[in-house]
Amino acid sequence: MKVIDKNKLSIAFTDKSLCTRSGTCIGVCPTQALSIGKEFYPEIDPEKCIECGLCAKTCPGGRVMYKDLTEITFGHRKDSETFDGYVSHTFVGHASDKQIRQGGAGGGVITALLADLLDRNIVQGCIVTRMKPDKPWHGEAFIARNSKDLLASQQSKYIIIPLNAVLQEIKKEPGIFAYAGLPCHIHGLRLFEREQPKWREKIRVVIGLFCASALEPYVAEEMLECRGIDKKSLKNFHFRGGEWPGRHRAILNNKQIKNLHYSNFKDGAINYLTYLYSPFRCQTCIDGASEFSDISVSDAWTRNEQGQYLFQSQSKLLVRTSRGLEVIQDAIESGALIASDVTQNQHYQTHRLHTRKKGLTAPIRVERLKQAGKTVPLYDRTCPTKSSRDRITEWLESSIMKAGEKRSIRYPLFKFLTSRYGIPIVKLRQYIKSRKYRKR
């Protein structure tokens, strides 16, 4: 068998733990030597590989150079030095179409923007995701060409999806595309744009999702198992189905809908999932805000002093580039998006939880693991100043996440926490949160 120089390949072939499973190497390969393999890691057909090195140059796994990404996206090399990244405008809003709004994870704004671009023929397709029609416990990337496709792409799928693998498909096509993805996907896409600048025009707009962590691809299967649901009876899997903020639920072939946990997504399951199912590479990612997108979208979790949500079923949009601003203004003008400009309101300028989790805890983790001789992604951003309390928090979180790697620990724990016996813990959490908001 042909032997390939591993330095010419993406990081998955030398250190799997650093692979983001973004699918970039698969999407950029000029000879289709790479494909999606087990657990969404890339696999190689050595006979097809020509050792061009493109997959190594565009790999977002082992090295994330903020200065380079800043230059590709914004045309200069100065670090924003904030966790939110470069932001010119902030909006809060929702899709004006009722179906799109209700179908969204937040206010359906990503879908509203993409639908507007398609309607006005600015783009001919959108790179998005859905749960696999034949295996609805896994996600997949696809190209949406009309509003029906876009409706199928709605919702956050809190799982690893090698989105960029789909670039392979549009390479052969003329036309302009829009793109919605997670921070790691966007890192890979931007590096590809650096190698082949024509892609900067082919992908007209890059919409980034805020991301605390994706989850291991086996999470949905384990959730079904916890509730005794046979995979074969599954028609679809919703991470945030039903009334906002939604619930994880199974849609069965006989049209029955089964909730997979008590409480809602925000107060219940997601808090456990991000500890027990977070991949190692996500734990060491420091970009939670999709800093290199044209527009970043997050949930508008802002609460009032009573701890109630101010913007139910809405999303927050951080505009980073003139392309991003144009897309939003056009969508407001065409009536696809209803949004208010809240740029001047300090309240919307940062995300406390994210600033902590990705802006502080993740860099501390990277630094600690590096000192302990472990392989971690290389960043050109220095770790922020931290207190002993910050270090202890990081260590505790990391210990829980480490325990989550063992099924014998995570499965019974998750089953208990998401059962009715876990409700007192949810109530306690809600009480602590409401006290925090009252104190402000």
- Enumerate binding residues for ligand FAD (CB under 6 A): 104-111, 128-129, 139, 153-159, 161, 163, 180-182, 209-212, 214, 297-299, 315
Tell me how far, at minimum, the Cβ of 240 lies from ligand FAD, in Å.
7
CA angle, residues 400, 351, 97, in degrees to nearest 5: 110
Tell me how far, at minimum, the Cβ of 127 lies from ligand FAD, in Å.
8
Tell me how far, at minimum, the Cβ of 207 lies from ligand FAD, in Å.
7
Contact 23/182 with Cβ under 8 angstroms?
A: no
Tell me how far, at minimum, the Cβ of 101 lies from ligand FAD, in Å.
8
Backbone phi and psi for residue 428, each to the nearest 5 degrees, phi listed first? -60, -40
User: End-to-end alpha-carbon separation of the chain, Å?
Assistant: 65
Closest residue to ligand FAD, Cβ-based? 104
Tell me how far, at minimum, the Cβ of 297 lies from ligand FAD, in Å.
4
- The one-letter code for the residue type at 160 is I
Q: Which residue has the tokens 């790697």?
A: 405
C-alpha–C-alpha distance, residues 109 and 154, integer Å: 10
Toward ligand FAD, which CB reaches closer, 56 or 300? 300
Tell me how far, at minimum, the Cβ of 148 lies from ligand FAD, in Å.
14
Tell me how far, at minimum, the Cβ of 45 lies from ligand FAD, in Å.
26
Tell me how far, at minimum, the Cβ of 422 lies from ligand FAD, in Å.
21
Toward ligand FAD, which CB reaches closer, 161 or 229? 161
Tell me how far, at minimum, the Cβ of 318 lies from ligand FAD, in Å.
11
Contact 106/315 with Cβ under 8 angstroms?
A: yes
